Each structure stands twice: as structure tokens, then as C-alpha cells.
Amino acid sequence: MSTPMQNQISNITRPDVQTKLSIQDLQELTRQLRLDILQMIFEAQSGHPGTSLSCIDILTCLWSVVMTHDKNRPDWPERDRFVLSKGHGAPALYAILMHEGYIPKEEIHTLRQVHSNLQGHPASKYIKGVDISTGSLGQGLSAAIGMALGLRLNQSPAHVYCLIGDGESQEGQIWEAALSAPAHNINNLTAICDRNGLQIDGCTEKIKPLGDIGSKFESFGWNVMEIEGHNFQQIIEALHRSKSMGQETSKPTMIVAHTTKGKGVSFMENEAGWHGKAPNAEQYEKAVADLQPDVYYQRLREA
């Protein structure tokens, strides 16, 4: 099985943009996006902070560095596609789509409200940049395979990326899809597993053990890489490499990203109880203090 990337990043910007991003830029951006995620969930008093915080580093690398897309042409045929199979992580997707210009920033206050575009799970009918509505767990990888096959039939250079959850990977449809992609030599597909080890009822390995997910996908005929899912260098290098590996091997690629549920907020980290619970006012203040301590303590001094 492939090991984490250790070499220096050779390409830290999207091929279709001129802006260069440093690791420090990405760290600052994801800090702000975590604040946006928490604001949405706190104001809605509903949502899934744990899974959104665990995957936002991956989504930021995809949308701000790796994927080819154009906010002014959301239906551009040659754009890369993204499927958020674990649709309950919608606040993370909304946060990065706001940053990338697909969603007006003022909609941050509307999460899960009646008639809002920002529903509890992403809906392609309402949001540019969302190619398929998701939320029924286990189905996203199959949809991503269909997209990849369609792109291949059209001889498109576009690539499909699909983020799945590890709790979601207890669904049988994930493994049907895992068998199907190599059978059709789908080399324009990269799946990423957000391996944070927790689901709504607790530890994945106590509820329905998944074991070594990477080895399972490898035995099904996938290229596999294992990375630390909050290490920007490893994330970007693995995402770039997945495209070339697919071309070289005619196989799909699975990146197992080892992450921390609730990453960035001390009292949420590695706590299954924060899978789908909104913070109260006191907890929200503590979370802001974790992510933005200078501003938080300055506000206290001025009070």
C-alpha cells in the first residue's frame, strides 16, 4: 500500500488560476472556514459540527488548490466534479463554496431555515457548485462512478472527486461501488475517506468494525494512499498524485485521510457527541476562543 507523501509540494495552486497559496495561507483560510462552520450551526441551532470540522482541510485543498472549476461558469463541461457523499457535512461544503464565490456570504445566516438554499444536506437545485444532492448515506460513490463514466464517454479531461465518511462505509452500497469502479477501469475517479473513527453512536470499530479500509479497497483493485488528513502538504500531494496514478494504472484511487472529529475545537475533538449537536452560547464562545483567541480576548478586555 502506498505511504504518505513526504516530499515538497510541487504545485500548490490550481492550474486555472494565478493566485499562489502557501501552507500558511491554507492554515489561515481553514481557521476562518471553521469559524464560518460554527457560526452557521450555532445560529441554526442544528447541524453536524464534528464531521464538518474533520473534513474542511480536505475540501479547502480540493476547491482552492486542486480542482479545475470556474464560479462564473458553474456548468462548464470540463470542470472537475465533487460529490459530498456524507451530505451531513454540508456546512463545510457551504463554507468553502462561499469562499470560492458560489454562494453569497450573507447566506451564512440561513442554514437549515425554511426556504433557504442552505439545507441540512446539499441540494443541487439550489446551489451552484453542487452537482448532485446527497445525504442518503452510501450513495455518493455510486453517483461519482456514473459521473466518471459519463465524462469518459464524452472524452472529457475532467476528474471526479468523492468524499465518503468512515461511518458511511458500513453501508453495503459503498462496497458494491468499490467493486464496480475497478471493473470498469475508471481511472478518472478519486475517492477520499474521512477516517475520523467516530459516528453518531460512537467509535466505528465498536459499532461495525471497518478494519483497514485501505487494504480492503486495494484488494478490490484500487490504487490506495494513506495520509494525515490535516497535513496540507500530504493532502495536496496525494490529490495531485491520484490523477497521474489513475492514468498510469487505469484504476480508481482511494485516499484514506486520517482525521480528527471536531478538529480545531478542543472540547469537540474526538467526541462522538458532537457528531450532530449545535453548541449553546457558552460553548460557541469557547469554540471561537479556540479558533480565534486574539480577537476573543481582545473583546473581553474591551467589555
pLDDT in tens, the chain (303 residues): 544 444 344 444 454 554 578 999 999 999 999 999 999 999 999 999 999 999 999 999 999 999 999 999 999 999 999 999 999 999 999 999 999 999 999 999 999 999 999 999 999 999 999 999 999 999 999 999 999 999 999 999 999 999 999 999 999 999 999 999 999 999 999 999 999 999 999 999 999 999 999 999 999 999 999 999 999 999 999 999 999 999 999 999 999 999 999 999 999 999 999 999 999 999 999 999 999 876 544 554 555
For residues 105 and 72, is the Cβ–Cβ distance under 8 A?
A: no
CA distance 182 to 217: 10
CA distance 283 to 291: 13
For residues 80 and 158, is the Cβ–Cβ distance under 8 A?
A: yes
For residues 90 and 118, is the Cβ–Cβ distance under 8 A?
A: yes
Q: Which residue has the cell 471526479?
A: 160
Strand 198-199 and strand 202-203: the pairing is antiparallel
CA distance 157 to 224: 22
Q: Which residue has the cell 479531461?
A: 157
The CATH label, of 3.40.50.300, 3.10.50.40, 3.40.50.970, 3.50.50.60, for the domain at 23-302 is: 3.40.50.970
Residue count of the chain: 303
**Helix axis angle, 172-183 to 140-153, nearest 10°:** 20
Report the 10 Å Cβ neighbour count for 192: 27
Give the 3-state secondary structure percentages of the chain, helix then strand then coil, rounded to 5: 45, 10, 40
